[in-house]
Homo-oligomer: A and B are copies of this chain.
Amino acid sequence: MSTLSPRDLVERLNWRYATKKFDATKKIPADTWAALEQSLLLAPSSFGLQPWAFVVVNDRATREKLVAASWNQSQIRDASHLVVFALRKNLKASDAEKWIDRVAEVRKVSRESLDGYRQMMVGFLGNPPGGFKIDDWSARQVYIALGTFLTSCAALGIDACPMEGLQAPEYDRILGLTKQGLATVCVATAGYRAADDAYAGLAKVRYPSEQILLRM
C-alpha cells in the first residue's frame, strides 16, 4: 500500500497554514476534489452515526451571499471550493434505528445481530451521559470531519482555511438548512494560496511541546 513516510507527513503538516488569501484563478482538479469529498464521507464519527451534512457551494451568487454573512472575508469568494460543515439537529433514538437499518443493509446481516449496538446507541441518544446536550456532541463530531478534511488537503498539497465566527443563522437561511434539520457549525475553504499571501511565509507558532505534550 502507498503511505506517506513519517518525514513527508511532518513536512506536509508544516506546509499547511490557514490560508488568508487564495489565488482566485486556480481551481482544484476534479479528481483531487473528488478525493477530498471522500475524506468528508469517510470521516470517523462516534458509533458511525455521521451526525452531519457537508454543503459544497459552487454557485457564484450563493457564494457572494455567504461573503456578506462572513464579515466579508475574501476566502469565501476566492477559494476554489467552499464546504459548509453542518450538524444534524436533535438526533434521537429513531436515528439509531435508521442507522441500524443502514448497517444491516450494507453488511447483509440481520437487525437482531446488531441489537447490542442498537441498544447502546438508543441509550446514549435517549439519555446522554454527563448531562451534555446531543447537539453539542454532534458539533464535536463535526470537528473530527473538519480535522480529517484539513489533514487530507495537506496530504494532497491543497491549501485550506478553516473558518469559525461566521453568521451561522444567515448561512442556515441562505442555504436553506434549517428546514432540513441542519445547522451551520463552521466552514472550510480550499484551493491554492495567492503568491502574495503575506501569511504564507510567516513562521508557524506553537507553544513549546513540553507544555502541550505530556508523557507518563
- Which chain A residues have a beta carbon within 8 Å of chain B's beta carbons? 1-16, 18, 31-32, 34-35, 37-44, 46, 48, 50, 52-59, 62, 102-103, 106-107, 124, 129-130, 136, 139-152, 155-157, 162, 164-165, 168, 175, 202-207, 209, 211-216
Partner of A157 from B1, B12, B34, B107 at Cβ < 8 Å? B1
A40-B213 contact, Cβ under 8 Å, with A2-B4, A147-B146, A147-B147: yes
| List of 4 A-B pairs having minimum Cβ-Cβ separation, nearest first | A147-B147, A6-B35, A143-B143, A151-B151
- Specify which chain B residues have a CB less than 8 angstroms from the CB of A136 in the assembled complex: 136, 139
- Specify which chain B residues have a CB less than 8 angstroms from the CB of A152 in the assembled complex: 9, 13, 151
- Specify which chain B residues have a CB less than 8 angstroms from the CB of A214 in the assembled complex: 53-56
Inter-chain CA distance A177–B16, complex, in Å, is 30
Q: Which residue of B lies closest to A216 (CB)?
A: B57
Q: Is A209 a contact of B41 with CB atoms below 8 Å?
A: yes
Q: Is B42 a contact of A16 with CB atoms below 8 Å?
A: yes
Q: Is B102 a contact of A207 with CB atoms below 8 Å?
A: yes
Copies in the complex: 2
Q: Is B11 a contact of A1 with CB atoms below 8 Å?
A: yes
Partner of A46 from B43, B103, B106, B164 at Cβ < 8 Å? B164
Inter-chain CA distance A181–B11, complex, in Å, is 32
Q: Which residue of B lies closest to A145 (CB)?
A: B147
- Min Cβ gap A137→B in Å is 8
A215-B58 contact, Cβ under 8 Å, with A140-B139, A144-B150: yes
Q: Which residue of B lies closest to A109 (CB)?
A: B202
Q: Is A3 a contact of B9 with CB atoms below 8 Å?
A: no
Inter-chain CA distance A9–B153, complex, in Å, is 10
A206-B42 contact, Cβ under 8 Å, with A3-B156, A62-B216: yes
